Amino acid sequence: MHNLAELPAPVWRDDLADEYAALAARLEPLVPCLEIPLHLPWIDAINKLKKQRGAVIMAHSYQTPEIFHGVADVTGDSLGLAKAAAGCDADLIVVCGVHFMAESAKILAPEKTVLIPDLEAGCSLASSITAADVRALKAQHPGVPVVSYANTSAAVKAESDAICTSANAVQVVEAMDSPRVIFLPDEFLGRYIARQTDVEIILWHGRCEVHEKFTAREVRHVREQFGSKVVAHPECSPEVLAEADFVGSTTAMGKWLAREKPARVAMVTECSMADNLKSQFPQTEFIKPCNLCPHMQRITLQNIYAALRDLKHAIEIPADVIAGARRALDRMLAVGRRETV
C-alpha cells in the first residue's frame, strides 16, 4: 500500500447522501444534524481504509455515536472488546476506547497489532495506582490476594492475582477463597462489593472522575422531575447507588433495559452510553444527567483515520508483563462471567 501518509483529508461528495442514508437516519436523533455531513466523509474514508488494511475497529460503549454506529465492527464493554480481539481473524485491531482497554486487547492477543488513535486517552482509575504501589500493598498485607479492576495498567495487572470487571467483581473476590482481599483501585466499586460479601475488602483510594461527579441530590431531582427509573454504574458513590432502582455494569444495564422496558430511565453513567443504547431501545425515553469521559472523547473520527493511515499508535508491552497480566486475566476468565452486579 503506497503513499497512505499523503491521503488528502476526506471531503463531502453528493453520493455519500444516498450511500449513508440509513446511517444518517440513525445518527439524526443522536448528534446535531449539522454535524452529520461533516462526519460522513470521514466515516466513508475510514471504512474504505479499514477494508484496505484488513483491520477491525472495536469501540467501547462510551464512544461517540458517529464512531459507535459509523465505523465500529465490534462494540461492547472493556472485557467484551478484549475477548473479541483475541477471537477475531484480523491481525490489525484499532481500539476506540482508553489506553487500558487497548492494553487488555494486546494482553489477550499479543501476536496482533493493536492500535489506539490517541495515546493520551487515559483513565483516572488506571492512573491512580502503579505497580510499585501494588508491591507496597502486598508487603503491608502479606499473603492477602490482590483483585484488580480491569481499569488498571498492564503493569498493575501483572502484580495482581486476578482481574475483575464491574460485571463479575463479587464473584472474582469470593473465588479468591480468602477472608481478606485487597481490591484496587476503585474505592466506590470496592465499597459496593464489600456490601455484598463477607470477605473483608482492603480498599485503595482510586475514583472514576466521571462517576464520582454524580450526587444523590441530583439523582433525586432527576427522578422527581422526570418520573424516571434510575440505573447507576457501581463506580458511583454509595449515596448515589442507594438512590438507584438498579446498579450494574455497562453490559448489565443494557440487559436490565431489555428486561424491564421502562418508559423513562435516567442513566447515571458516562452519557455517550445512553446515546448508544437509544437506538436499541426506541420505546424508552433516556434522561441523561450528562457527564462525559474526557479521555474517551479524545478518540475522534480524524485520529481513527490517522491511526489506520499511519499505523499508529501501536501498543507495546514487555513480554514478562504480558505473561503476568495474562495469568491474572485468565484467573478471572476461569471464574466465569456470570453477572453479579
Residues in the site for ligand 13P, rule: CB under 6 A? 77-78, 150-151, 165-166, 208, 235, 249-250, 270
User: Which range in 167-175, 289-297, 298-306, 316-324 contacts ligand SF4 by CB under 6 A?
Assistant: 289-297
Closer to ligand SF4 by CB, 227 or 294: give it: 294
The reply on whether position 169 binds ligand SF4 by CB under 6 A is no
Nearest residue to 197 (alpha-carbon basis) of 216, 178, 212: 178
* Residue 165 interacts with which of ligand 13P, ligand SF4, none, CB < 5 to 8 Å by class: ligand 13P
The reply on whether position 341 binds ligand SF4 by CB under 6 A is no
Angle at 166 between CA 115 and CA 179, to 5 degrees: 125
C-alpha of 232 from chain center: 15
**Smallest separation (angstroms) from ligand SF4 to the CB of 190:** 14
Q: Name which position in 96, 125, 230, 329 contacts ligand SF4 (CB under 6 A).
A: 125
The reply on whether position 128 binds ligand SF4 by CB under 6 A is no
The reply on whether position 123 binds ligand SF4 by CB under 6 A is yes
**Smallest separation (angstroms) from ligand 13P to the CB of 295:** 9
**Smallest separation (angstroms) from ligand SF4 to the CB of 120:** 13
**Smallest separation (angstroms) from ligand 13P to the CB of 150:** 5
112 in Cβ contact with 147 (< 8 Å):
no
Q: How many residues does the chain have?
A: 341
User: Which range in 121-129, 135-143, 153-161, 171-179 contacts ligand SF4 by CB under 6 A?
Assistant: 121-129
Site for ligand SF4 in 293-322 (CB under 6 A): 293, 295-296
The reply on whether position 152 binds ligand SF4 by CB under 6 A is no
Closer to ligand 13P by CB, 55 or 271: give it: 271
Q: Left (φ > 0), alpha (ψ -120 to 50) or beta: where does 40 sit?
A: alpha
Q: Name which position in 104, 128, 148, 151 contacts ligand SF4 (CB under 6 A).
A: 151
* Residue 209 interacts with which of ligand 13P, ligand SF4, none, CB < 5 to 8 Å by class: ligand SF4
- Dihedral sign, CA of 198, 203, 208, 211? positive
Integer-rounded Cα radius of gyration of the chain: 20
Where b means 16+ CB within 10 Å and e means fewer, 44-79 reads bbbbebbeebebbbbbbbbbbbbbbbbbbbbbbbbb
**59 DSSP assignment:** E
Binding-site string for ligand SF4 from residue 261 to residue 280, where x marks contact by CB under 6 A and - marks none = ---------x----------
Strand partners, 149: 164
Cβ neighbors of 300 (< 8 A, separation 6 or more) are 64, 67, 117
Distances (CA, A) of 195 to 146, 147, 170, 201: 18, 16, 10, 10
The reply on whether position 251 binds ligand SF4 by CB under 6 A is no
The reply on whether position 288 binds ligand SF4 by CB under 6 A is no
* Dihedrals phi, psi of 63, to nearest 5 degrees: -80, 155
Distance from C-alpha of 56 to C-alpha of 89, rounded to nearest angstrom: 9
Closer to ligand SF4 by CB, 295 or 313: give it: 295
* Number of residues in contact with ligand SF4 under rule CB under 6 A: 13
**Smallest separation (angstroms) from ligand SF4 to the CB of 125:** 5
Distance from C-alpha of 190 to C-alpha of 217, rounded to nearest angstrom: 22
Residue ranges in contact with ligand SF4 by CB under 6 A? 98, 123-125, 151, 208-210, 235, 270, 293, 295-296
